[in-house]
Amino acid sequence: GAGVSQSPSNKVTEKGKDVELRCDPISGHTALYWYRQSLGQGLEFLIYFQGNSAPDKSGLPSDRFSAERTGGSVSTLTIQRTQQEDSAVYLCASSPGGEPQQYFGPGTRLTVT
Amino acid sequence: RKEVEQDPGPFNVPEGATVAFNCTYSNSASQSFFWYRQDCRKEPKLLMSVYSSGNEDGRFTAQLNRASQYISLLIRDSKLSDSATYLCAVTLYGQNFVFGPGTRLSVLP
């Protein structure tokens, strides 16, 4: 079946602009995660959604970052007033209820100029 | 102390060699453990789960040592195609995934 998809695959934006990144999880997966990965670095947890529960936002680096998940499916990560240090690959992952392993999307490479 | 730690490497090994990576975790209540593989500029892909009794998948063997709080990955008869970064992941109650920084492996001809 279809895997996790993300769009856009690449995004170049000017400092100070807002960006929206989209994630379509695997159908039926109840959990959805957003991570950030800078060049040569590990995965930095951003936010986690599980079903209808309140999201775990503990990893969001600042109040410029927000995310929502509509209808328990598609998720959007929004970065307001982008800064150069926001440049990274933003990865989305989903996992089915009852199984902890995650399946990753291909990521969105964000470059802030 | 970081929650999950790995030797970043790189590990440079010849084809056919056996190589082992360790990953240590700090939260003794951690429940589930995984190894992921990440190729350059690609997303991580699940390599294998790690079970308490240890498990094997072809040339790959994963082990868990709860007493010392580490997991290990052993790759036998390494291939050029095994070159990648190997990430360990630890979860608490099936959520709160924490990934290690990864260990880079280069298998040389």
Bigger pLDDT: B1 vs A91: A91
pLDDT digits (tens, 9 = 90+) for A31-63: 999 999 998 788 999 999 988 888 989 899 999
Determine whether the interchain pair A104/B101 forms a contact, defined as Cβ–Cβ distance below 8 Å.
no
Please give the pLDDT value at position B107: 97
CB–CB of A45 and B97 under 8 A? yes
pLDDT in tens, B13-55: 999 999 999 999 998 888 889 999 999 989 999 999 998 888 9
Q: What pLDDT does B48 receive?
A: 93
Nearest chain A alpha carbon to B10? A40
Using a CB-CB cut-off of 8 Å, the residues of chain B touching A43 are: 44, 87, 99
Per-residue pLDDT reduced to its tens digit, A51-102: 888 898 989 999 999 999 988 799 999 999 999 999 999 999 998 876 778 8
Q: How far is B76 from chain A (nearest CA, A)?
A: 24
Q: Give the long-range contacts of residues B35-39, CB within 8 A, separation 24 or more.
A: B35/B60, B35/B62, B35/B71, B35/B73, B35/B86, B35/B87, B35/B88, B35/B89, B36/B86, B36/B87, B36/B88, B36/B89, B36/B99, B37/B84, B37/B85, B37/B86, B37/B87, B38/B84, B38/B85, B38/B86, B38/B87, B38/B102, B39/B84, B39/B85
